[in-house]
Structure 1
Amino acid sequence: MGSSRFVALAASTLVVVGALVGAPAATADTGQPGTLYVQGVDWCSDTGPGTQDMPFCSVQAAADVVMPGQTVDIVGAPFQGGKVTLTRSGTPSAPITFQGVSTDPVNTSANLVLPPNLDGTITLSGVHDVHVSYLLLDHTSTDAVDVKGSQDVVLDRLHIADQASSGAAAVTDGVSVDGASSGVTVSRNQIFDSSGNAVQVASGAHDVTVTTNELVTSRYAEVAVSGTATAEVTGNTLDDSCGPGLTIDGGSSATVENNVFTGFGGSVVCPAPTAPALSVAADSAASVTADYNALAVNSGRTEYSWGGAAYTAVAAFTAATGQGAHDLDHVGYAYPDATDENSPVIDSADADAPGELATDVHGAPRVDDPLVADTGTGARTTYDRGAFERQDTFPPPSGPTSASGIGPLSVSVTPGSPRPGTWGLPETYTVDFGDGSPAVTDASGTVTHTYTVPGVYAEKVTVTDANGSSASRTAKVTVGTATPPATSAAVSAEIGQGTVDAGSAVLTFDHSDNWELASRTVSWGDGSNNNVPVTRGAAGHDYDYDVPFRTYTVTLTQTDIFGRTATATTTFRPADSYTPLTPPEYDYQGTVKAHGLLTLDSSTLHTDTNGVDAAALRVTATGGSSGGYLTLYPYGTTRPSVSAVNFAAHQTTENGMTVRTDSSGNMYLYNGSAASVSVKIVTAGIFSHAQFGRSYTPVAPVRVLDTRNGTGGVTGPVGAGKSITVAVAGTHGVPAGAAAVVLDVQTTSAQASGSLGVTSHGMADSAVTTSYWAKGQTVSNLTVVPLVDGKVVLHNSSSGSVQMVTDVFGYADATGTGSVYLSSTPTRILDTRDGTGTGGRVARLGAHQTLKLRVGGVHGIPSSGTTAADLVLTAVSPTAGGYLTAWADGTTRPGTASLDYGTGRTTPNEILPPVGSDGYVDLYNGGSTAVNVLADQYGAYVAQ
């Protein structure tokens, strides 16, 4: 036999004599307890549970978690092949099993089955009590199966092919067992075209059984055993090897029985064209027993090499060695095996040979051929030599036929009259409906059955003769559910490697009853992408929206195999994710004239990248001879009545804010002062609906540093020009792996004027000046700080000392699962001077009083799911110093400040307060006198 034989099999199907081996009926459940599933379907996941409904994509994912007693069902070809390494072990009473399961067990014309193609190789490393069976393995530059330092391993019914081109340099084995392994059984495998040995057992191994395998056209030996104690090589068919069929050396001890050596000296180019069929070296001959083998070699080869002597025929071999008393030889190139009627290997084996199996390489039973005299020995005299057991041949039975319908579904099968086989033995028919109901035996008339459980079933009719030979015919029966498969859908932003693309929707939907579905389509709700076939995933589908901040209705439509449809709808609102600019970009510095309007273009702001909708800015105003304010807003829109930075004459003031841009990334800056003012703008980050960035998770505001009382590990004011390091990640609700943290830093009791620099520890070029103060002044400012090691550095750029207080308000999510950003046109949502946001009540916020401010469900912010508001909070001309605190309504007021204000000074500060489940934020005046309060909304964070 040449290599072309296996190529044809691997490309189509594998012939199985006897009962059909295949997958269990597909049903809409989670599979059997103790079973993990691997299947190359669109809804698989290597991070999922490995159930039948949500299988793993790769065998390696299952191998990494399998436990003793569990079975890994590899259903069809996995999505991800390649090399699989098994390192987990079972126990003698609870082994681990990896087994292939055919996805197409039904074939109406013959008993054909296609094993799952792993498209890779397997290594068993340091394991014990592991079984691997029924897989198709292709290999080129490495061994197909490597057993290393492992014990009690079974490799059964594997179909192995070396796909390297003829004459390739790599010498690889089908199965390789290293010297540290023992208790290994290699059984019922078909191994073709190995560029090395089909099976190789290395020195030091012991108790290795090689039985009932078909080994064809290996470049070296079909089986090579070296330095192995207690090897059993039994019942194999070794065909057309370039080297010896079986070679034993290195002081091995072995039993060699019931093997068929055939076709030696074929047409392929061989490295050892004159090698004997069976070769036992002098160092092993005394410890090897050989008998009941059958040999056929071509001219130029010998049948045996034993202890260094060559023998061309059985008679001479037996006379000289006392071995092979029941061996057979055959003149000619190919020895007839058990698939040929009247072959001498039929019913002539030693049934008691070590390692002999009760079934042949295809799982067919051992049967008595009545046309051949029984010359075998042992418990039964009817075993055949080699890997194949001769079966009766008769026409496959008639029926059944494929059927489908809504359950309960009744079907009828008429097996027909028995048609005698070659042996003329009595026959019986059996009908198995494949749903677990009892099979009907001796069926000669019409058999009717009703399926009650939806699923796909392999209905099988089997004819069996009196000796146990059988042939089957199968058909597929599809039983549908009474109603269309349930349809549900959920949508979220796309997450990848700890980042989120908040403008890309990922639709996740129910994948139960997938077997019953014919098609899925999705309409994304934007008017132009309707009824899009779901081809990229049966558990998810994604879509990038061009226009953010609108609410889109997404509709999933499922059509089942019976033409019934079901729909599910959900909504998605494209939003933005945050990308910090590190180091921050110092974008603009110049003078803006009185009541002047400055255009900040996208190249200046670094917002000229894909899908940017807003920029996180730090804006500093200085040197104005008259007090006033700055307003920033999207280019091309009407100026809103808001203020981002308020400043007094000859005062330097800084504030952060997130400002929406136009579709090109541009915005306006307006100077609301009667005098010109110097302005400096820093872009700290961008918000985009078309890029992967960070999401945000608010926390209940918590104080992590207060040098006045030692909170945070620093006690006493920070000296002039000095820095302190504050740990913020891994504590106070901020995970250790957070990508950035949102801090409000207050400076107070300043002994001289100065400014505050905030830097990520380990990222020196990330420094941002976040606030300026005069002597004796208290100033607070919010800032977002990227994190490297979870710490931030605060630097006092002043000639005098200053006390520092730091509160944490949230963090940028390092998993992409936090909230995403909805920017809005700056809008004043609270003004106690005119009743905006208070229900029309015009009154200052009283000392130690609380005001409820609604942010959810107004001004474009969703009524539910809002987790944090993005506001600029302003205290207007206070008559005494104090502070404001903002927090989620319905929760306890934290001991932190959101804004510190001094006497007579209008003071703004950006805040990101958490929002209550009712959509409200509470504002508390911690000052001793009433104060007017403004709140300007720039956006909000919403849950995905």
Structure 2
Amino acid sequence: MKETLLVRPTRATVLLTAGLVTLLGVPSAAAAEAPPTLYVNNNTGSSCADGGPGSQAVPFCTISAAAKVVAPGQTVRIKTGKMYAEAVTIDRSGAPGKPVSFVADGPAGSLVSLGNQQLTISGASHVVVRELGVNGGIRVNRSADVELDRVRALGPVDAEALVVGDASTDVRVSRGMLYGVRIEGGTQRTVLGRNEILGHDQEPLTIADAPATVVTNNTIQLGCGTAVSLSGSSSGSAVFNNVINAKYQNGPCDPARARAALAVSQSAAAGTRADYNLIAGSFQVGQTVYTWGGAAHQDQAAFHAATGQGGHDIVLPATQDAGTKAVDSADATAPGVLLTDSRGYPVVDDLRVPNTGKDGGYLDRGSREGQNWLESVRLELDQPWAPAGTAVKATATAVSAWSGPLTYHFDFGDGSAPVVTDERTATHVYSSPCECTATVTVYNEAKLKTAAGSQAKVTAPGPLTAGFTSKPFLPTAEDPRAYVAPLTVEVDPRSAVAPWPVQQVDVDFGDGAHEQVSALEPVRHAYAQPGDYKVTVTFKDAKGATSTVSRTVQAAYAASGYVPVHPFRVLDTRLSNSPVQAGTAAQVAVPVVYYSSGPHHTGGATAAVLNVTVTGATQDTHLNVWPSGQQRPATSNVNVRARGTSSNTVTVPIGSDGKILAQLNSGQGHVVVDFVGYYQPNTGQRFYPVTPTRLADTRTMGGALGAGQTRTVKVAGVRSIPPDAAAVALNLTSTGATTDTHVIAYPEADKRPTTSNLNPEPGKDKSNQVIVPVGPDGTITLYNNAGSTDLVLDVVGYYHGWGGGALFTPVVPKRLADTRTTGKLAPGATTTVAGLPANAVGAALNVTATETTGAGFLTIHGYGTARTDASSLNTRPGETVPNHVITPVGDGKVSIWNSWGGSNHVITDVFGYFTQG
């Protein structure tokens, strides 16, 4: 039977273990009397202050601040995560058994980084530094009892990463990664253990005039030169258990430069010992591997015969694997041995190889100790979903680095006693339903372990019973750009009672659409239009049983906030010379992707706000705009005379395919569509309707706008509009135009879009309602393209925040009222339009005046509220004039007043309404 102890507990081993207590920083009995811990944290939000107390609540910002005040027995905990780009000098001392300690405070394996700066320990004693990364090198001068543990260091160009000198004593360097080390200047009793030491152009490890230096269990990478060099008065030193890898170098070495694994000068040879080292090299036949006392030796046999050293050394050619030879072959009684390796892992016996270490020990050579890793385990249940009373077999599949016996601990997660076995399988019967997590923990002979789990769904015995729930599926506030089509409903079949696994779920959405899935998981469907639908869900389980359930599900538009955008054009049929024809619906694709700069909107929008212009019509006609996938409604949006140009704002729901449709009633004409905003659930701004109020009138404020001129108008903080409003809803009216032109309303004066809002004509007062984002200074800008025209602005509402305002719910475009069936609206008369929800506080309407007998205007306001002088629509004799109107609502109704200019027929269409919520 193989020996399971590392070595016999000799006096040397007892002393080594006592030394490890100090080296690894195990608290002593007097720890309760230690001064309070100091903290350093330069991470964002740390409230750090170098002039503060260095407490956890108010830490120091720099390590240097802590180094100036640290007291014996005190630990400085340095938060990892952000670089401390500072040169640090430690010159304060601890006391015997009470060192000053500097340690990383962060996740396991994380380091404190000084960047390209240097750490200096000078004139200090009883100092511990752990988990530090530094690219400017570490210098220890005139210091005693210093521990450097788990440090990673690069040095300045052409210099060693670590230099210990100026007669320092008892410096211990362990488990680090160091790019070149130099021990010099009368330094005594330095210990290098379990480090990875790399050399490129410089030698990896140079020891000069440093007696009693111990180099044990390091992995040393040699480039050119000599891997370990002892010279001067470095007598009484020890070099044991190291792996010296001389296989590779950065390019060819200088032939004039001596290259060896170990070189000990004559002055350093007295009392110096070397053994149990492994040298894997690209040394050619006849090249020097060792020099000792000035004599060169070409191989291990010649070296041992001449010096008595290296009797257990192994020298391998570059073609052989050094890793295997290093296993279980070291001297566990060598000076400076650590029982954990450079990763903190313990010494373990690899049972695959004989123990060839001293006295049958199984310590590995080099900085790393081979481990019997249990890399992973997988747990599978043959019945992961079954009713109580069913026998469930669990099978564990473990992946282990070494062969050897494994022990399995199966815990089935229902409170029953774990099953401990050396078999890979265990069987269990659950006595009652549960959502249990079965786990297996696998142990190897080294007591290393790994674990895995698997879910067990234990159900009540009984028949398969269908069931489902449903809800609107909406874009979330956390991910507002996720694509979610309007009128999407989620059907969730997980409420079904299924004793055995469900293998098939068939969902009939009631509109001709079906979906089939192979598990109990939610399915989503976008309906083309709102309404009530009979949804039928059929289930089939693993035993062949089926069950069906039907329920009425409502698909409805969701209340939404408004998102204004910088206006941009989405369609202009003039560019392709493809006018819209009567009888044929033209598709308008609403943008559904996010652009890193410029306009964007999400596929989660329920409705779009557009400015639609019809120009070049071949006859008097009107344009309908409605959601794709729905029947063309008996409504209208833009009315235009033959060869004329007319525009109107349109609020319209978006079809489930992300499109809207536009169709002329007769003839043909070109259509231009500008995108100005959208409504979407769980995001955007709320609407606050106001009594229509005049905001600006150029006839009394600076005069008409000439060709190419702009006029900036303050809107936020004016009248009832708050200073931080996001957008304003305005009625924009032109009067006194000298030529055909177009007017643009936009948020930022220096970013005029290539869109339009109003098309003035000579001799005609024309109006259009617009929704304009508010610019950064609380203004909007008006631009006139040609001739000159006066402009009048009446505010009807604003959009602001997510507080007490109203949300918008789109509706399928619908005609609410038409006086052509009830009689004309006389001059000075008011008509009431009903049909809106009783809880509506506002509505998005399209109001059309036709068969007008005299020039005048209409004012639309909330039923039961006082009328103001603001106009909503300007009427003209012999013309049909539409306008988009956002208006307050009272008791589900709006009032329309006709001015004294003449009689009118008035047609009112609704596209959505606003409610508090």
Quickly say closer, same or farther: Cα 1:684–1:186, change in 2 above 3 A. same
CA contact (8 A) 1:645 1:653 kept: yes
Q: Could you report, residue by residue, the CA deviation over 1:836-867 in whole angstroms, capped at 9, with x for unpaired residues?
A: xxxxxx997998989463246xxxxxx99999
Within the candidate set 565, 578, 582, 1:599 is matched to: 582
* 1:781 counterpart residue number: 768
CA contact (8 A) 1:754 1:799 kept: no
**2:301 aligned with 1:329, yes or no?**
no
Within the candidate set 636, 661, 664, 1:668 is matched to: 664
Quickly say closer, same or farther: Cα 1:551–1:149, change in 2 above 3 A. farther
Quickly say closer, same or farther: Cα 1:936–1:213, change in 2 above 3 A. farther
**2:330 aligned with 1:345, yes or no?**
yes
The equivalences for 1:413-812 within 5 A come to 431=409, 433=411, 454-460=435-441, 462=443, 469-470=446-447, 478-480=455-457, 482=459, 491-492=473-474, 502=485, 523=507, 525=509, 527=512, 529-532=514-517, 582=569, 585=572, 587=574, 599=582, 617-619=612-614, 630-633=621-624, 655-657=648-650, 667-670=663-666, 682-685=671-674, 699-701=687-689, 706=694, 716-719=701-704, 721=706, 723-726=710-713, 743-747=730-734, 757-760=743-746, 761-762=749-750, 764=752, 766=754, 768=756, 770=758, 772=760, 780-783=767-770, 792-795=780-783, 803-807=792-796
- Paired amino acid for 2:612: L
Within the candidate set 352, 355, 358, 2:340 is matched to: 358
Quickly say closer, same or farther: Cα 1:364–1:706, change in 2 above 3 A. same
Q: Could you report, residue by residue, the CA deviation over 1:115-141 in whole angstroms, capped at 9, with x for unpaired residues?
A: xxxxxxxx9896994767799xxxxxx
Q: Could you report, residue by residue, the CA deviation over 1:149-199 in whole angstroms, capped at 9, with x for unpaired residues?
A: 5999xxxxxxxxxxxxxxxxxxxxxx9963379999769xxxxxxxxxx99
CA contact (8 A) 2:176 2:195 kept: no
* 2:860 counterpart residue number: 885
CA positional deviation for 1:572: 5.7
| SS of match in other structure, 1:347 | coil
Q: Could you report, residue by residue, the CA deviation over 1:573-595 in whole angstroms, capped at 9, with x for unpaired residues?
A: 7999999663974759x9x9xxx
Quickly say closer, same or farther: Cα 1:661–1:444, change in 2 above 3 A. closer
Quickly say closer, same or farther: Cα 1:699–1:822, change in 2 above 3 A. same
CA positional deviation for 1:785: 6.0
Q: Could you report, residue by residue, the CA deviation over 1:592-646 in whole angstroms, capped at 9, with x for unpaired residues?
A: 9xxxx9738678x98899999998533479999xxxx844348999998766567
- Paired amino acid for 1:853: A
**2:136 aligned with 1:179, yes or no?**
yes
CA contact (8 A) 1:491 1:572 kept: no
Q: Could you report, residue by residue, the CA deviation over 1:520-540 in whole angstroms, capped at 9, with x for unpaired residues?
A: 978583645521569xxx999
Q: Could you report, residue by residue, the CA deviation over 1:330-387 in whole angstroms, capped at 9, with x for unpaired residues?
A: 254499989779954153444x55xx463675944567999969969xxxx9855435
CA positional deviation for 1:808: 5.2
**2:909 aligned with 1:937, yes or no?**
yes
Q: Bigger relative contact order, structure 1 or 2, given CA contacts below 8 A and separation 6+? A: 1
CA positional deviation for 1:934: 3.5
CA contact (8 A) 1:699 1:810 kept: yes
CA positional deviation for 1:781: 1.6
CA contact (8 A) 1:702 1:894 kept: no
* 2:883 counterpart residue number: 910
Partner Cα separation in structure 2 for residue 220 and residue 374 of structure 1:
31
- Paired amino acid for 2:136: G
| SS of match in other structure, 1:770 | coil
Partner Cα separation in structure 1 for residue 394 and residue 694 of structure 2:
88
- Paired amino acid for 2:817: L
- Paired amino acid for 1:459: V
CA contact (8 A) 1:361 1:388 kept: yes
Partner Cα separation in structure 2 for residue 151 and residue 910 of structure 1:
74
- Paired amino acid for 2:623: L
**2:883 aligned with 1:899, yes or no?**
no
CA positional deviation for 1:450: 8.4
Cα RMSD for the two superposed structures: 8.3
The equivalences for 1:792-871 within 5 A come to 792-795=780-783, 803-807=792-796, 824=813, 827-831=814-818, 834=821, 851=832, 853-855=834-836, 869-871=844-846
Q: Could you report, residue by residue, the CA deviation over 1:460-481 in whole angstroms, capped at 9, with x for unpaired residues?
A: 35465xxxx3366977554326
Partner Cα separation in structure 1 for residue 80 and residue 647 of structure 2:
65
Quickly say closer, same or farther: Cα 1:493–1:214, change in 2 above 3 A. same
Quickly say closer, same or farther: Cα 1:555–1:389, change in 2 above 3 A. farther
Quickly say closer, same or farther: Cα 1:778–1:493, change in 2 above 3 A. same
CA contact (8 A) 1:349 1:384 kept: no
Q: Could you report, residue by residue, the CA deviation over 1:233-268 in whole angstroms, capped at 9, with x for unpaired residues?
A: 8645569x887896899xxx9x997653267559x9
Tell me the percent identity. 17
Quickly say closer, same or farther: Cα 1:556–1:281, change in 2 above 3 A. farther
| SS of match in other structure, 1:531 | strand
User: Which 5+ residue runs of structure 2 have no aligned equivalent?
Assistant: 6-42, 47-61, 64-74, 87-102, 120-131, 140-146, 163-172, 178-192, 396-401, 593-602
Quickly say closer, same or farther: Cα 1:244–1:270, change in 2 above 3 A. same
CA contact (8 A) 2:291 2:297 kept: yes
User: Number of residue pairs matched?
Assistant: 708
CA positional deviation for 1:438: 12
Partner Cα separation in structure 2 for residue 554 and residue 920 of structure 1:
32
Q: Could you report, residue by residue, the CA deviation over 1:96-126 in whole angstroms, capped at 9, with x for unpaired residues?
A: 69xxxxxxxxxxxxxxxxxxxxxxxxx9896
CA positional deviation for 1:487: 8.0
CA contact (8 A) 2:241 2:330 kept: no
| SS of match in other structure, 1:179 | coil
CA contact (8 A) 1:463 1:472 kept: yes
Partner Cα separation in structure 1 for residue 633 and residue 371 of structure 2:
91
CA contact (8 A) 2:858 2:872 kept: yes
- Paired amino acid for 1:386: G
CA positional deviation for 1:805: 3.6
CA positional deviation for 1:724: 0.8
Partner Cα separation in structure 2 for residue 364 and residue 562 of structure 1:
52
Q: Could you report, residue by residue, the CA deviation over 1:880-930 in whole angstroms, capped at 9, with x for unpaired residues?
A: 96653356x99x9998957145798987443253798x9946446597999
Within the candidate set 162, 176, 183, 1:210 is matched to: 176
Quickly say closer, same or farther: Cα 1:609–1:178, change in 2 above 3 A. closer
**TM-score normalised by length of structure 2:** 0.51
Partner Cα separation in structure 2 for residue 210 and residue 568 of structure 1:
68
Partner Cα separation in structure 2 for residue 895 and residue 450 of structure 1:
76
CA positional deviation for 1:686: 7.5
